[in-house]
Structure 1
Amino acid sequence: VQHWGRLHLPNSQYVRTTWKEIVNNVSRMSRNVKFMFDARLRYREVLYFFRHKVNNYIHTLAVISLYSLENAFLLSELSGTVWACQAQGDNTLIVINVKTILTCVAMIPHMFSIPDANSLQLYLAMDKLGIDIGNMRGVGSGDDNSDDDNDHDNDEVLHQEKRVDLPWPDMAWAGHVSQVRQYNLTKRHRSCKSREG
């Protein structure tokens, strides 16, 4: 499977991936996104993008790690303005169609001094200011497509097509996700051995 490192959204944002940002020590973080999952808003970290042919149509897909559902206590106490989630790592890897991605977001680590959440490392979800207004006016986000990882791989940018209803089978993609987990475990093991050496 060929991996892809960036996705260009219709709002002109560029979604990047863990695959590129961590391996190449990129300082900026643009790999967290907001998307629709089971008819509700969710947040997740993108590992990488790839393409797969299903029913004679080539779909652009993403391997992602889901953040938890929003902390209900914080959401209620703060009048629905704070979406705080837990990172779940490789335990929640799934494959999705990139057409469900809405925007690139920031997931900011924060410790809330609230009894229900003081023992948890939570991530505060924040959209780019003005992104919704810009979308309504047809103005892009102003993100650049610079080669932050300095790998000169300019052809790694995918473009999200207009969201239309396409045949999309109900598949778990369990085999592919299993391979991703094994790849991550092997990579971490090698990284630990190199640090020990």
Structure 2
Amino acid sequence: MHHLGLNFGELLILLWRGKLDCGCTDNKNTWTWATLTGETWEYHGKLVAEARKFFPSSFHQPPRNPAEKINNGFKATEYFLAVLPRENWRHLCKGLHGARTMLQCSATGKEIREARIQLVQFVEEYEVMYYQRRVDRMHFCRPCIHTLLHLASEMIRIGPGAVSSQYTLEQLIGELGQSIRQPSNPFSNLAQQALIRCRINALKHMCPELDPKSVLHQPKGSLVVGNGYILLQPRKHSPSQLFSPEMDALEEAGIYSKQVRKWGRLRLPNGQIARSLYSESDKNRANVRNTRNVKIRVDGLKTYAEVWYYFLYAQCPDDLTAYALVSIYSDPLKEVLADSYNELWACFYQGDKSTPTTSWRLWFVVEKTGVDDAELLGGDTEDE
């Protein structure tokens, strides 16, 4: 995590800001990639901070203004943000495409081979684009660049880093460090804390009922709908009248009703909570985080949608089923997707499709890094 986020991201940001050391035989005026400077850097930082409300509350750390926070606890997941010349931007996308695979908890052989090709090409192009085989730029080639060449082979040899080191090990180090109570003898204390942790884990494995997390917590007013999904409040006290676009969408799914009782949130099996337009439109806070966009499959194909609300419907008296009314975003712009090595998924918000095309807004997808780590560490979304 620190390699692909903190170390890798920090190096690139320093290059783009023109902050790396420049020898007397070099000239920063020739650094065509150093575009994040002066007013551009300040303006970019402002745009990044304003995007905070569009990042779901389940994200580790929403982006903050890098112009203000880059030297004050900036997180690894905040580093993948920049404004670059097209050549440098495409080079970054190629590296991110390979890095994304390396951050997954599982990957196919085909994905690993493709990631290896992308990462090797990224390193080669990095040396041509930035280092340029110049001795006075040797310090551009930090260990985090060379390590990219070994990630794919190591993933095949010992498994994904997300399982073997990145998230689980970081979590364990943090928890054991907080449990030390004898600074005068820290290593003995640390060994005892680790031993106690192993014994507790062994007992939980033999007797799962000893682990309070093994029992599904069902909040008050919620409803279990099967397969690990739980509907959560807010919930309408009475059925709401549907408008024409909503009824048309439900009829296409074989649901013939003019009224439904809306639910606002859905807890997913991994512990994350997906909200809806209904639940978030009632909040008056200025910095409400948008957590109503979801990734779904339609006819076997991946796409993205905005959840308007959840509801229950019974085709027959004994068959009460949970549904979600969603507004599907448009297909991605193919040229942009191909140009970014399948990294930038830019699409249009369509609403209920009755909105004139001229008012459509262009959106792009940002997925939580290592989103499947929630299954290892537990969901990190607070149940308000």
Q: TM-score, normalised by structure 2?
A: 0.29
Matched, 1:39 2:300: yes
Which of the numbers 3, 22, 35 marks the counterpart of 2:281? 22
Q: Which residue among 343, 347, 352 is the counterpart of 1:81?
A: 343
Return the offset for 1:22.
1.4
Structure-2 residue corresponding to 1:163: none
* Contiguous gaps of at least 5 residues in structure 2: 1-259, 355-359
Shift of 1:57: 2.1
Counterparts in 2 of 1:127 and 1:141: CA distance versus 1, 3 Å: farther
**What pairs up with 1:135-154 in 2 under 5 angstroms?**
135=375, 138-146=376-384
- 1:139–1:57 Cα change, 3 Å: farther
Higher fraction of helix = 2
Relative to total residues, which structure has the larger strand share, 1 or 2? 1
Aligned twin of 2:369: 129
Query: What do residues 67-99 of structure 1 show as CA deviations (whole Å, max 9, x unaligned)?
Result: 00111111100001111110001118xxxxxxx
Over residues 128-165 of structure 1, what are the superposed CA-to-partner deviations in whole Å (9 max), with x where a residue is unaligned?
A: 12212443xx332311111xxxxxxxxxxxxxxxxxxx
Separation in 1, partners of 2:378, 2:362: 30
1:66 corresponds to which of 312, 328, 343: 328
Contact 2:374/2:380 (<8 A) preserved:
no
**8 A Cα contact 2:348 2:361, kept in partner:** yes
| Counterpart residue type for residue 7 of structure 1 | L
Larger Rg, first or second structure (1 or 2) = 2
Deviation by residue 1:33-91 (Cα, 9 ceiling, x = unmatched): 00111111110111100011135422110111110011111110000111111000111
Distance 1:49 1:140 in 2: 24
Code of the aligned partner of 2:378: G
Choose the corresponding residue for 1:10, options 269, 282, 295: 269
Runs of 4+ in structure 1 off by over 3 angstroms are: none
Structure 1 residue 2: deviation in Å? Answer: 1.3
| Unaligned residue ranges in structure 1 (runs of 5+) | 93-119, 147-197
Residue 101 of structure 1: aligned partner:
none
Kindly provide the CA deviation profile for residues 89-143 of structure 1, in whole angstroms up to 9, marking residues without a partner as x: 1118xxxxxxxxxxxxxxxxxxxxxxxxxxx7421111112212443xx332311
Secondary structure at the residue paired with 2:289? coil
SS of 2:366's equivalent in the other structure is strand
Contact 1:11 1:139 in 2 (8 A): no
Equivalences for residues 186-197 of structure 1 within 5 A: none
Question: Partner amino acid for 1:145?
Answer: D
Kindly indicate whether structure 1 or structure 2 has the higher relative contact order, using CA contacts under 8 Å at least 6 residues apart. 1
Aligned residues: 118
Q: Secondary structure in 1 aligned to 2:377?
A: coil
Contact 1:131 1:141 in 2 (8 A): no
Question: Distance between the aligned counterparts of 2:350 and 2:368, measured in 1?
Answer: 23
Rounded to whole Å, the distance in 1 between the matches of 2:267 and 2:334 is 32
Which amino acid is 2:303 matched to? R
Partners of 1:36 and 1:85 in 2: how far apart? 16
CA distance in 2, matches of 1:25, 1:64: 23
Instruction: Provide the C-alpha distance between the structure 1 equivalents of 2:264 and 2:310, rounded to a whole number of angstroms.
Output: 6
Aligned with 2:311 (options 41, 50, 55): 50
Q: CA RMSD in A?
A: 2.0
**Could you tell me which amino acid in structure 2 is paired with residue 29 of structure 1?**
N
Contact 1:17–1:31, Cα closer than 8 Å, also in 2 = yes
Q: Separation in 1 of the partners of 2:276 and 2:382?
A: 15
